[in-house]
Structure 1
Amino acid sequence: MRTMRRTVLLLGLAVTGCAPDLRTDYPFDGQVNTGPLVEVSPQEDGSSVTLIDATNKSSLVFFDIDEGRELKADEAFDTNAWDLAFQRYTVTMNGGGGNPTGTVRVAVLKDASWDALTSAPAEGYQQDASEPVFSGVEGGWYSYDLVKHRLVPRDELLYVVQSSAGQFFKLRMLSYYDSAGTPARLSFRYQPLPAPSVLTAALPAP
């Protein structure tokens, strides 16, 4: 059963939409980072800023947003407690195409203020399908500068994640590059939200 579940999960995560080829920006040399793949920095306002090292093209970084930590692959498969997975610029969720047995859902809010969003919306939640929600809904979480060959997060998009534990978090992508300019070291900000008083069913997958 575990082998079958792992096969389905990996097949689902392999399905991604069109995205720019960033090899000219940062040619991967096969080296694997031996340091932490997830670094979470709590902020004074109750939010957290997370840095994900997704530079390895051949592996996924699993993140448990409820506990604010990385889950290694074996733990992610065994517990099914991961919420988001990162591989270069691709972000998938533990639900739908990312994993049919997962319950994570995500709502995408356009032009929503971070400070004004004080509780989770009651509707608009989706799961991944042939294309991840983070890549396909409202044009995806990034735009691509064809002149500078750089990926730029879209500040107007705010995500609300309903986690594998049923909790809610608002999330905004901050950068595809770290402070040294290294690509595929993504950062995002997230913060818990109160649940809506009434929660509607998920929308059809995109």
Structure 2
Amino acid sequence: MRVDMRMIHRTVLLLGLSVAGCAPDLRTDYPFDGQTNSGPLVEVTPQEDGSNLALIDATNKSARVFFDIDEGREMKTDEAFDTNGWDLSFQRYTVTMNGGGGNPAGEVRVAVLKNESWDSLTASPSEGYQQDASEPVFSGVEGGWYFYDLAEHRLAPREELLYVVRSSSGQFFKLRMLSYYDSVGTPARLSFRYQRLPAPTPTAP
């Protein structure tokens, strides 16, 4: 009897998705499969307190949106890889960094702080920075940036987590994820707040 290995692989994949209870409900979370978005994919709005509010349109599941946190702008795919100047990328709810598994040649690192208030963090931590491995830091450390509400089939950010991003140019930024949905409820239009921080104070030899 001839075995169709492609069918077996497909069956295994579907079974894996069905038992991943903590994963988002893909039936309702992918309303824009394959579409190319005509509007801007990154919008950054400066705030009065010196922070910035970023809105990322990651509704196209087959594409990554590359973000340069130093300049607060989108980087098109060619520019992102030609210059290696991107810092974070967004593909639906997955956030990767330019370093480690996201790109072995990248220099970006991220520290994850728990139960740290936004206002109290006025300087970058001197340690705790990581790069993506088999799982992105934003997805795995401290449970990941979001939790999934099984009753509502919605993602919600973990408000207790604060991220510090060491950018591709060596600058530091605190960052807090705010929402997976825009003001009208469209999924994969992520928003986050970020602000530049002083570099860590060098330790005495």
Q: Could you state the TM-score of these two structures normalised by the residue count of structure 2?
A: 0.86
How many angstroms apart in 1 are the aligned matches of 2:23 and 2:104?
23
Provide the rounded CA distance (Å) in 2 between the counterparts of 1:25 and 1:96.
Answer: 28
Q: Does 1:168 align with 2:172?
A: yes
SS in 2 for 1:24: helix
Mapped pair 1:191 → 2:195: yes
The higher-RCO structure (CA 8 Å, 6+ apart) is 1
Paired residue type of 2:32? F
Highest CA radius of gyration, 1 or 2? Answer: 2
The size of the alignment, in residue pairs, is 183
The answer to whether the aligner puts 1:103 opposite 2:113 as a matched pair is: no
Note the residue ranges of structure 1 that are not aligned, 5 or more in a row.
1-16, 200-206
Query: Secondary structure at 2:28's aligned position in 1?
Result: coil
Counterpart pick for 1:40 among 4, 19, 44: 44
- Give the structure 1 partner of residue 122 of structure 2: 118
Residue deviations 1:67-115 (CA, integer Å, cap 9, x gap): 0000000000100000000000000000000000000000000000100
Deviation at 1:179, TM superposition (A): 0.4
Q: CA deviation at 1:187?
A: 0.2
Structure 2: unaligned runs, 5 residues or longer? 1-19
Cα distance in 1 for partners of 2:33, 2:111 equals 36
AA partner of residue 121 (structure 2): L
SS in 2 for 1:27: coil
> 167, 176, 186: which is aligned to 1:182?
186
1:133 counterpart residue number: 137
Residue by residue over 1:24-80, the C-alpha shift from the partner in whole angstroms, topping out at 9 and shown as x without a partner, is 244334322100000000000000000000000101000000000000000001000
Give how far 1:19 is off. Answer: 3.4
